Amino acid sequence: MNFTEETLSRAPGEQRILEAKDWAIKELAPTAETWERERRFAREAFDSAASNGLTGLLVPEEYGGKQIDSIELAKILEHIAAVDFSVAFSLVCHNNLAGAIARKGSTELKSRFLPGLVNGKVLGAFLLTEPKVGSDAAAIELQAHRDGGEWILNGEKAWVTNGTEANLLSVYAQTDPSEGHRGIATFLVEADSEGVQRLPGYELFGGHGMGTNGIRFENCRVPDANLFLPPSRGFSAAMEGIDLARVLVSAMSCGMLRSGLETAVNYVLNRQAFGGRLADLQGIRFMLGDVATDLEAATLLTYEAANIIAAGGNAGVAAAHAKKFSTRATEKGLAECMQVMGANGSLREHSLSRHLAASRLTHYLDGATEIQNVVITRDLFSE
């Protein structure tokens, strides 16, 4: 029994993992190309996910959620991403917001927003990145000024997953530039509020199902009751869940690579060329053997980090290793899987091209690859 099998055998909710896998195959696979072709948010996929209990995964049962651990969450998202990465990442962002409100929100905020987030009637989004601010999250410029019992928000956010249709926005804003990251607060803003301008969805290389766009705030008034995290807590909260987010991206990358490898193996087993099966050619076998090794290594790194988080440990370095290796291995491995299939590998009837496009995007989510190296080398050269 290898590490991954041992981990899963100890993890609760194995039935939920299998149910999520079946859901993805039955509900997502037939239409996964639809939102990519139409370049829009995968609304029907999200609604189906909500109906199947996938929108309250980090919320305690007392609020209607399931409160699963990091290992189970990673496995569920791995199986969903094996069919469509954009839907999986959309669910990550939504579930993270719901979980954050459950953990840190006031009683009023929990009662107002958790029911809709858990049942999927409300779609959540996380607004940190800005047009001029990416990895340096402490440098955000969107301003929040208090005016009596309200706050006035002005500025623009970029790369908002779920943004084209989100109902509830978790907005990170600077309340006092002189305080730097200590001045950052978080507000829960309903997307239909006056002063919220939803910008058109981005035309991307792939991943259109995430509904990514920019959102502008022009004198948007937010009641003091919607202050989710006050100054001094906003930035630390944004950074708090980053290790888990990196592990989840790693798991989703593994799901895509596993799907690509299975597709390529099945293809070469059935494709005749040069008097026999492609699978009988040593060059083909060795190419896919290397992909299999990278997948095994990525999986082990991913679930080692997930296991550390589940045990309450510090997974910063482990998560950085997992994300860096998994995203690189997945992009390279998917390209190899496509190569052994020849031109047929690029046909949209296979998921390879969709996965390959998404794998490029994974290098930038929750910290670019270079940021992972900052974490790793900081530890490597520490005294």
Read off the CATH number of the domain in which 231 is found. 2.40.110.10
Q: Nearest-CA neighbor of 214 among 131, 142, 143?
A: 131
Residue 271 burial class via C-beta count within 10 angstroms: exposed 0-12, middle 13-18, buried 19 and up: middle
Give the whole-angstrom CA distance, residue 328 versus residue 268: 24
107 and 131 both lie in a single domain: no
- Residue stretches of the chain with pLDDT short of 70: 1-12, 383
253 and 373 both lie in a single domain: yes
80 and 194 both lie in a single domain: no
Last residue of a domain, one of 88, 122, 156: 122
Q: What is the pLDDT of residue 139?
A: 85
196 and 250 both lie in a single domain: no
Copy the structure tokens of residue 108: 């009023």
pTM assigned to the model:
0.92
Last residue of a domain, one of 178, 205, 237: 237
Domain range for 283 is: 241-380
pLDDT in tens, 162-210: 999 999 999 999 999 988 889 999 999 999 999 999 999 999 989 999 9
Secondary structure (3-state) at 57:
coil
Amino acid sitting at position 347: L
Q: What is the pLDDT of residue 320?
A: 96
210 and 260 both lie in a single domain: no
Give the whole-angstrom CA distance, residue 169 versus residue 171: 6
Give the whole-angstrom CA distance, residue 82 versus residue 161: 19
8-state DSSP, 58: T
Give the whole-angstrom CA distance, residue 157 versus residue 172: 9
Rounded (5°) CA angle 59-120-57: 25
Secondary structure (3-state) at 68:
coil
Copy the structure tokens of residue 42: 């995968």
Last residue of a domain, one of 87, 122, 157: 122
8-state DSSP, 91: H
118 and 59 both lie in a single domain: yes
249 and 368 both lie in a single domain: yes
135 and 111 both lie in a single domain: no
Copy the structure tokens of residue 31: 């239409």
Amino acid sitting at position 129: T
156 and 60 both lie in a single domain: no
118 and 129 both lie in a single domain: no
218 and 349 both lie in a single domain: no
Amino acid sitting at position 288: L
Q: 341: domain CATH number?
A: 1.20.140.10
Are 133 and 181 in contact by the 8 Å Cβ rule? The answer is no
Secondary structure (3-state) at 343:
helix
Distance of alpha carbon 128 from its chain centroid, rounded?
Answer: 14
Phi, psi of 271, rounded to the nearest 5 degrees: -95, 125
Sign of CA dihedral 251, 254, 260, 264: negative
Overall domain count for the chain: 3
Are 142 and 171 in contact by the 8 Å Cβ rule? The answer is yes
226 and 284 both lie in a single domain: no
Q: What is the pLDDT of residue 103?
A: 93
